[in-house]
Amino acid sequence: MTTTRTTRTALRTAALLVTAALAVTGCGADGTASGAQDAGPAANAEVPTTDVVSAVRKDPAAAGLLPADVRARGTLALASSVGTPPGATYLPDGKTLAGQDIDFADAVGKVLGLRLTREVASFEAILPALGSGKYDVGTGNFGVTDERRKTLDFVTYINDGQGFAARRDSPLKKITALTQLCGLTVATGAGTTFETTLEEKAHLCKDAGKRPYDVKTYADQGALWISLQQGRSDVVMSTINGLRYAVTQQPGLRFLNEFKRLDVGFAFKKGTPLAPAFQAAVNRLKKDGTYDRILKKWGTGPSALTTSRISPPEIR
């Protein structure tokens, strides 16, 4: 089959995503990330840089909820997963981080009067490292699920969730049941709620007498999109906000639909004493208008929460 100009452009765009990710993170040829997952030049060209954080001031009431030892040292170890906008990515200099997760963490740090020492880590490595005490808090668009709440605490700051995207020539229009994926290849991120959902529901195809779907997981977002562009995957399952952004950057793709909403939060080890202070800080940002300014900057207004909560039940 002859490749059209549009398809060639799309593949070049997706290839740039992988090239940038390899350059910045030191990914091996097998796609295993040693650090961040850079969104690449195609995404970076559209990343907003409006400053919505520097004017935030310390709130003594929220800061007073911190444990005494944390207030004394004035720092927290923060692990950030870096993938694609609007969550977190690199600016074109390959060093400066930007994204909704970055702005929220920085703003909360200011409210609490803390310096966050940020370390970039792979998505699938952060949650186990919180339990071991390597990090105090983690960000990475972590959805709050009942399974995760067994071993972790969360302080919510947005609502995002699960969705699907496909090539424009796909017969898929809207996915309301996972049995619509039977017989297809689904690309998704490693260690995510999407992978868990697909694995837990894999029996549905067998129960319906259909051929099972094949799940391909990727630690690198660029490789995930190339798999879709090249036809090695039929559909991508990822975050609603991330998918909406990604399809605007790559020709020949379209967002299918939202599948399930999830609250998203800062992640902590179970029983953390930090949660009340973080909750108060997020709610302070809502009160002073910073919260809405961050969402407006990243075009994620529909992700707004009415109030921050500590480890709420999973949205069903």
CA–CA dist 104, 110 (Å, integer)? 10
Q: What's phi and psi for 118, nearest 5 deg?
A: -90, 135
Specify the pairing of strand 253-269 against strand 152-167.
antiparallel
Write down the pLDDT at residue 6. Answer: 43
Residue 194 has pLDDT above 80, yes or no: yes
pLDDT, tens digit (0-9, with 9 covering 90-100), for 254-302? 999 999 999 999 999 999 999 999 999 999 999 999 999 999 999 999 9
Residue 313: DSSP 8-state: P
How many other CB atoms sit within 10 Å of the CB of residue 253? 23
Which residues make Cβ contacts (< 8 Å) with residue 298, sequence separation at least 6? Answer: 48, 85, 86, 99, 100, 103, 241
The token pair at 116 is: 């966050």
pTM of structure: 0.80
> What is the band of 176 on the pLDDT scale with cuts at 50, 70, 90?
very high
For residue 220, the model assigns a pLDDT of 82
**pLDDT value of position 187:** 97
| pLDDT score, position 191 | 84
Stretch 70-75: mean pLDDT = 97
Q: How high is the pLDDT of residue 249? A: 84
Give the pLDDT of residue 42.
37
**Exposure class string for 288-299: b at 16+ Cβ within 10 A, else e:** eebbebbbebbb
Higher pLDDT, 188 or 220: 188
Average pLDDT in the chain = 86
Find, among 188, 185, 184, the residue nearest to 221 by Cα. Answer: 188
Q: Does residue 236 register a pLDDT over 90? A: yes
At residue 84, the pLDDT reads 81
Distance CA 121, CA 115 (A): 18
Q: CA 180, CA 36: separation in Å to the nearest integer?
A: 33
DSSP assignment letter at 116: E
CA 283 vs CA 35, 43, 155, 220, 230: distances in Å: 31, 30, 11, 33, 44
Give the pLDDT band of residue 20 (cuts 50, 70, 90): very low
Residue 47 is predicted with a pLDDT of 87
What's the confidence (pLDDT) of residue 129?
Answer: 96
CA distances from 127 to 97, 143, 204, 274, 292 (A): 20, 12, 28, 16, 28
- Mean pLDDT for the stretch of residues 104-121: 97
